[in-house]
Structure 1
Amino acid sequence: MTILPFQGNAAEPAHDIVDVTPETAIRWLANNERNRNLNGAKAAQYARDMRNGNWQFNGDPIRFDAKGRLLDGQHRLTAIKMSGTTQRMLIITNLPEATQDTMDIGRPRRMSDQLQISEEVHSTLLAAILRIVTAYDLGARSFSTASPTQAEMRDFLRAHPQVRRAAELASKGQKYVPAMPSAFGATYFLAARRDVEWAELFFGHQLLEGTGLHSGDPAHTLLRRLSFARANGQRMGLDDQVRYILLAWNAFRDGRHLTKLQAPKGGWTTDNFPEPK
C-alpha cells in the first residue's frame, strides 16, 4: 500500500516510491510550514527539465515529519505543479522534526564536478563556457546571471562536442588574452558555428598569438581595449566582454577596419546585441 505523509501514525520512519501528480504536489505543499524561502528561479529550472523529459528519478527523497509537515522537497513539488507533469519520487514519512537541521547542508554537485567525474579535460572552464552558449541558444543575451540546467548543458555538449575545442583554446588564452577565459571560449564557439576556419584565424592566431596585427585590425583594437581596461582597473564584466569580442569578430568577418570599441548610444539591449556573423 502506498505510504502517504498524512496517513497513519507509525512510530518509525517509513518510505515508499510514489508517482507524484500536480494535484498531489499542491496538496502536500499546503503542509509546507517549516521551510526556507522558495527560490522561484530554481523551481522554474526544475520545471523546465521536467517538461523537457530531462528529470530523472535518482532516489532523492521528499521528506515529511510525523505530523505530516513538509521538511524537504518544496522546490521539486513546486516544479511538478508548475510543469504539469507527474514525477516518480521517493517519499519518507514520520521523521523527527529535528532532522530538518541536517538537510541540504552539503555542497551541491556543480556542472564542473559532473564533467570532472566524466573525465572531461578543462572541466571547470568547459562548464563556464557551456553555461554561456547554452543560455545563448535558449534566448539569453545577458549571461552573468544566466542559469541553464545541468541537463540542458549536458544535452548541449552531446549535440555540440566542438565546445571542447572552445575550452581548449580558452585554456591556452588565459596567459595571452586579457579577457575572461569563459568569454573568450564562448565567443569562439559562437563564431566557429558560423565559420570555423575564420574563427581559428581570428581567435587561434590573431588574438591568441597577437602576430601580424596592425592598427585598425579588429583583433588589435580588441586586445588594446581589453588590455587598457585591465591595466587601469576598469570593471569589464562578462557581458561586456562577450559583446566587445563579438563586435570585433563581426568587423573581422566584414573586412572592416575597427579603431574603437564602445557600447551603443543608450546602452546595450537585446535588440542591439552583436549577433555573430
Structure 2
Amino acid sequence: MQTGNGLANQPTASNANNTRKGDIITEEVITPALAEKMLKLNRQNRPIRDTHVAFLVNEMVTGNWESMNGDTIIFHRGVLIDGQHRLKAVILSGVTIRSYVVHKTTGDRDKIRQTKGNGAVRTAADELAAQGEKNCKGLASVVVAVDRYFSAIEAAGSSASEISFSSQTRSANKTTYVASAKHHTAKLPQRHIPLLVARYPHTRESAAYGKAQGQRKPRLLSPNHWGLLHFIYHEIDSDCADRFLEALCTGENLTRQSPILQLRERLLSITTDSKNNSSFVGTQIVLGLANAAWNAYRTDKPVNLKKITAGDPIQIAR
C-alpha cells in the first residue's frame, strides 16, 4: 500500500515507529529518485538555502551523515513542510539515506511549521515565503523598520515632536521619547512577522519600491531605507511623497536652497566617505536627515542638514 502522497509504504509491523491519530510515522529509505518526487510536493515552504544544502551534501558524501539521527521529513496532507534541505542534498550527492517520515492529516499547517524542529534556522523572510509573499527579505526588513518607527511614535505620545532608537530615557522637557530596541519588533519571534504585514499591508508596495530604487545609481540608500521612507511619507501625502522621493533620487530641478538637494548631498557624502562602510548607513541618521528634509519641504521652511548627526533625535514626519 502507499501513503496519501503516493511516495512510500504505509507503516507495517516492521517499519512503523508510531501511529497516532492524525500522524503516521515511518522509517523509510530515501533514494535520490524518491527525494525528487518528495520535493515536488514542496509548496509555499521557505526558499531552499544553498549554503545549508552544500553543508549537508558534504556530510553525506564524506560519510559523516548519520541516518536516523532524529531528524524527520514531514508532510501535512500531502504537502512537504519540513526536510527540503535534506532531500535536495540527497539528490545532489547521490547518496541514499534512511529517515523518519511523518505524514500528518490533522492540525493547522502554519502552526506545524512554526513549532517543528529546523535543520536550518527559519528567518523572517522564510516565514513570509511560507505565506506566499514576494520579495520576502525586503518585505521583512521594511515592515520591521516601519513597525519600529510607528511604535516609537505611539510610545512617545501625542505631544512628542521627536523620537530616537538609541536608549530608554525620556528627555527633561518630555517632548522627545527615546525608544529602546527592546520595545520594538526586532525582538519579536520570526513567526510574528506576517502579522506585521497584515497590520501594515502597504509595506508590500513600499518594499517593492525600495527594491527598485536600490538598483538605481548612484546608491543613496539601501532598499529597506527607500521602502521605509516610501511608507512613512505615503501615509502622510502620497502625491507629495512621490515628488519628494523622485527628486531625491534624480536630483533634477532642485535649487541650492532645496532641502531635498541638501538631503541628497548629505547621503552621497555619507555613502562615499572612506571612513564609512558604503553598504550600510544607519536607520537613525537616515530618518534624522530625511524627516528633517521632508518637514522643511512640506512647510517651505529653511533647514540646515549639516548640523544633524547620527546621535541626534529624529523629527517625526508631518
Q: Which of these residues, 257, 260, 274, is aligned with residue 219 of structure 1?
A: 260
Aligned partners of 1:180 and 1:241 also within 8 Å: no
What's the secondary structure of 1:252's corresponding residue?
helix
- Separation in structure 2 between the aligned mates of residue 222 and residue 59 of structure 1, nearest angstrom: 42
Bigger Rg, structure 1 or 2: 2
- Separation in structure 1 between the aligned mates of residue 192 and residue 298 of structure 2, nearest angstrom: 30
Q: 1:59 to 1:259 in 2, by over 3 A?
A: closer
Q: Which residue of 2 aligns with 1:171?
A: 211
Deviation by residue 1:191-230 (Cα, 9 ceiling, x = unmatched):
2111112111111x21233321221212111110111112
Q: 1:222 to 1:123 in 2, by over 3 A?
A: same
Counterparts of residues 210-249 of structure 1 (less than 5 Å) = 210-235=251-276, 236-249=281-294
2:239 maps to 1:197: yes
- Separation in structure 1 between the aligned mates of residue 294 and residue 303 of structure 2, nearest angstrom: 10
Which ranges of structure 1 fall in alignment gaps of 5 or more residues? 1-12, 17-54, 62-103
- Separation in structure 2 between the aligned mates of residue 223 and residue 59 of structure 1, nearest angstrom: 42
Q: Which of these residues, 133, 136, 139, is aligned with residue 152 of structure 2?
A: 139
Aligned partners of 1:126 and 1:163 also within 8 Å: yes
Q: 1:250 to 1:152 in 2, by over 3 A?
A: farther
What's the secondary structure of 1:211's corresponding residue?
coil
- Separation in structure 1 between the aligned mates of residue 204 and residue 254 of structure 2, nearest angstrom: 27
2:316 maps to 1:253: no
**Higher RCO by CA contacts (8 Å cutoff, separation 6 or greater):** 1
How far is the alpha carbon of 1:56 from its aligned partner? 5.4
Deviation by residue 1:155-179 (Cα, 9 ceiling, x = unmatched):
2322322112211221122123411
Q: 1:202 to 1:152 in 2, by over 3 A?
A: farther
Q: 1:132 to 1:225 in 2, by over 3 A?
A: same
Q: Quick check: 247-256 or 136-145, which moved more?
A: 136-145
| TM superposition score normalised by structure 1 | 0.55
Aligned partners of 2:142 and 2:227 also within 8 Å: yes
What's the secondary structure of 1:245's corresponding residue?
helix
What's the secondary structure of 2:221's corresponding residue?
coil
How far is the alpha carbon of 1:259 from its aligned partner? 4.5
2:122 maps to 1:109: yes
Q: Which residue of 2 aligns with 1:161?
A: 201
- Separation in structure 2 between the aligned mates of residue 117 and residue 57 of structure 1, nearest angstrom: 12
- Separation in structure 2 between the aligned mates of residue 138 and residue 152 of structure 1, nearest angstrom: 15
Counterparts of residues 39-118 of structure 1 (less than 5 Å) = 60=115, 106-118=119-131
Deviation by residue 1:38-88 (Cα, 9 ceiling, x = unmatched):
xxxxxxxxxxxxxxxxx9576837xxxxxxxxxxxxxxxxxxxxxxxxxxx
**AA at the equivalent of 2:227:** G
Q: How many residues align?
A: 181
Percent of aligned positions that are identical? 19
**AA at the equivalent of 2:287:** V
Aligned partners of 1:216 and 1:259 also within 8 Å: no
